[in-house]
Structure 1
Amino acid sequence: MTDFLDFQTLKRPPKPNTALIAPEGFTPLETPDGAPPVLPFPPAETFARLLAMIEAEPGWKLVAADGATGRLRFIAVTKLLRFKDDVDVTILPVDGAPSQSTFAAYSRSRVGYSDLGTNRKRLDGLSAALSLP
């Protein structure tokens, strides 16, 4: 079984080659780079939508998924230099709104010092795609 990322204990490296988006308070040891959108879908539907996105996106490969906990891990291969980046996502319910969800996502490069914003762009794109009806 794959060990999923624990956002509660996440400590980012000092290199600028990671991106983190999470709801306020979900990553107590790190400050996210941004907040994820609140999505107009229940958590199970958001999970299914993300799973379909991963399977359809060229260069993305699912490593593990657990629908019961809303966690996914995938590898994203960069287009130009073919670097492998690791991405973890946890789908979260929105308190008091069972028909809505949000998520936490952490994307990081395996090699190099700077990613020239690639990981942040990936998470911004993921947020935008999940927000579509």
Structure 2
Amino acid sequence: MAGFLEFGAIARPASPNTALVAPPGYPTSAEVDAAAPVFPRPPEETFKRLLAMIDARRDWKLAASDPAALKARFVAVTPLMRFKDDVDLQVLPADGQPGQSTLVAYSRSRVGYSDLGTNLKRLKALCEALSVP
């Protein structure tokens, strides 16, 4: 996987097997499925927590990270069928909220037409886990 995803230029497929979470007003041409929350810590700390979460899970494998840009990519493996889904994220400073952060994240299935909501559930669970102080 070369290079990181450009979130503003995402071209989502017609199939319902992707999910995009972004802060309100984030500049992207793609439809956003859910608003990203604001996390109670600076972006660098949120990014470190994100990497630790990925490392702690047996079903997630870090594919690439760029700590300077606060970007990461990982592969998530579904439990039953062992399908591989690709997840790209970037932690961002929260607008107008010093010392706090948010993120933009895009999760997509490699195979199949529908993911039965798996990608959006994954991103929401990730955001929920990062929201814990």
Find the residue that maps to 1:107 and give its secondary structure: strand
The CA deviation string for residues 46-96 of structure 1, in whole angstroms up to 9 with x for no partner, is 000000000001110000011111100000000000000000000000123
For the pair 1:84 / 2:96, whether they are aligned, the reply is no
Q: Which moved more, 1:89-98 or 1:104-113?
A: 89-98
Q: Which runs of 5+ in 1 are unaligned?
A: none
- Separation in 2, partners of 1:2, 1:64: 9
| Cα distance between partner residues in 1 of 2:75 and 2:44 | 22
Would the aligned equivalents of 1:7 and 1:26 in 2 still touch at CA under 8 Å?
no
Question: 2:104 corresponds to which letter in structure 1?
Answer: A
* Secondary structure of the corresponding residue to residue 14 of structure 1: coil
Q: Distance in 1 between matches of 2:28 and 2:20?
A: 12
Map 1:89-100; keep pairs closer than 5 Å. 89-100=89-100
Identity %: 61
Q: Which runs of 5+ in 2 are unaligned?
A: none
CA RMSD of aligned residues (A): 1.2
**CA separation in 1, counterparts of 2:112 and 2:103?**
27
Q: Which amino acid aligns with 2:12?
A: R
- Structure 1 residue 57 and structure 2 residue 69: aligned? no
CA contact (8 A) 1:10 1:27 kept: no
What's 1:114 paired with?
A: 114
Q: Deviations over 1:22-62 (max 9, x none)?
A: 01232421120010110001000000000000000111000
2:81 counterpart letter in structure 1: L
**Structure-2 residue corresponding to 1:35:** 35
1:2–1:64 CA contact under 8 A, matched in 2: no
SS at match of 1:91: strand
